[in-house]
Each structure stands twice: as structure tokens, then as C-alpha cells.
Amino acid sequence: MEVKLAKSAGFCFGVKRAVDCVYKKLEEGSICTYGPIIHNKQVTEDLESRGVRVIEDIDEAEGCEVIIRSHGVPPHITGSLPKKA
């Protein structure tokens, strides 16, 4: 079997943007992601080790800025999240 690696590999634009956003926001305060930001165990474990909390319920968002996972959430979820002052 021959395995070929693409010349450029990595995250698509949307996922890269979401992950970069979380790392940048970590410098500013408490961060939560609504669900895992992406389906990549190494990245989510690294983020959690840096203090990012993964929440599955809106009620868990108290006291942190929430970043929506890269594949989105239904409108009723975004409408229920606390607004930034």
C-alpha cells in the first residue's frame, strides 16, 4: 500500500478561523465553547488543558464568553446565549 500526503494539509478555513478565535480569546478571559469547537481530540484536549470549558447546556454559560462550535448550532441556541455587555 502506498500512502500519499497532500502538499498542504490541515483545517479548512472555517475550522481554522474557529480554532484561532478560541486561542486568541483565551488571552482575554474565561472561554466556553458550545459543544466541542471541532472534532479533533488533540486540539480539544489542548484547549481544555488551557482552561476552555466545553458546555452542552446554555445554563452552563454563566461567567464565560461562549464561542459556537465550527459547524454551528440551531438559532434557538444562539438566541438564548448571554449577550456580551
Q: What pLDDT score was predicted for residue 65?
A: 87
For residue 8, the tally of other CB atoms under 10 A from its CB is 5
C-alpha 12: how far from its chain's center? 14
The reported pTM is 0.74
Q: What pLDDT score was predicted for residue 77?
A: 80
Q: What pLDDT score was predicted for residue 84?
A: 62
Q: What letter does residue 28 receive in the DSSP assignment?
A: T
Q: What pLDDT score was predicted for residue 71?
A: 75
Q: What pLDDT score was predicted for residue 57?
A: 86
CB 53 within 8 A of CB 31: yes
List of the chain residues with pLDDT < 50: none
User: DSSP secondary structure string, 30-68?
Assistant: -EEEES-SSS-HHHHHHHHHTTPEEESSGGGGTTSEEEE
What domains does the chain contain, in order, with CATH numbers? Answer: 13-80 (3.40.50.11270)
